[in-house]
Amino acid sequence: MFVDPKLQQELERVAVLRKLPAGAELMRAGDAITHIPIVRKGSLRILAQDAEGRERFLYHIMPGETCALSLTCCASKRTSSVMAVVEEDVELWMVPIQYLETWMDFPEWRRYVNDTQAQRFNELLETIEVIAFNKLDEQLWNYLLKRVQATGEPILRVTHQEIANELDSPREVITRLLHQLQARGRVSIGRGTVDVKMGAGMAAGS
């Protein structure tokens, strides 16, 4: 994980290793943040969540990465505003937040925190762009692609309803858009599954 043996040693000393199965919820909006999760294996899916329980997919956290939001959240001692769901079975290092600051003495840690912040920021911008300027069919395709990339599995076990929830859109619309994608050979759908055909981008249409 870290090159600096001292930092690595610190990590192994204070972090609690935690394993969670796909689909498990690591945290929900409103939860207090006591630990910073660093993904060792697997991946997490991060969703925005509002007071009424509506959701919105934001991005994934992949191995070696940590949640930039928890970093800023605990720095300002606020509660989480996002929900974290396990995408692919994960192993997490749970680092008590107190070490966030004390570890700043390690240059490598500073760089790591900085890098993840920058990376997340870019990803966030990207998803904002998708949400703000793209039509739902493009958002859907983007969503499917990201999830496939995050799981390494081309076949997603998801219902239309679940997708609809995460894109905050009615199920019927998702069903119809999935059919369009199927007609274009980009996916094939089964009950509770979507088989995503990887390959070229979205290109042309309607």
Query: Is residue 191 within the footprint of DNA (CB under 7 A)?
Result: yes
**Binder among 8, 149, 159, 180 for DNA (CB under 7 A):** 159
C-alpha dihedral (110, 112, 115, 121), degrees to nearest 10: -100
Query: Is residue 13 within the footprint of DNA (CB under 7 A)?
Result: no
Query: Is residue 161 within the footprint of DNA (CB under 7 A)?
Result: yes
CB of 199 to DNA, least distance (A): 22
List the x/- string, 126-145, binding to DNA by CB under 7 A. ---------xxx--------
Name the β-bridge partners of 196: 187
**Binder among 119, 175, 180, 188 for DNA (CB under 7 A):** 175
Residue position matching structure tokens 């290092």: 93
Cβ burial of 61 (10 Å; 0-12, 13-18, 19+) is: buried
Query: Is residue 160 within the footprint of DNA (CB under 7 A)?
Result: yes
Interatomic CA distance for residues 180 and 186, integer angstroms? 9
- 83 or 156: whose CB is closer to DNA? 156
Whether residue 130 contacts residue 139, with contact meaning beta carbons closer than 8 Å, is answered with yes
Query: Is residue 179 within the footprint of DNA (CB under 7 A)?
Result: yes
Of 159, 206, 158, 156, nearest to 180 by C-alpha is 206
Whether residue 182 contacts residue 190, with contact meaning beta carbons closer than 8 Å, is answered with no
Name the β-bridge partners of 85: 25, 45
Query: Is residue 180 within the footprint of DNA (CB under 7 A)?
Result: no
Query: Is residue 187 within the footprint of DNA (CB under 7 A)?
Result: no
Query: Is residue 173 within the footprint of DNA (CB under 7 A)?
Result: yes
- 71 or 136: whose CB is closer to DNA? 136
Query: Is residue 54 within the footprint of DNA (CB under 7 A)?
Result: no
Tell me the two tokens of residue 7.
């930092």
Query: Is residue 176 within the footprint of DNA (CB under 7 A)?
Result: yes
Q: Which residues in this chain contact DNA in the complex, by CB under 7 A?
A: 135-137, 159-161, 169-173, 175-176, 178-179, 189, 191-193
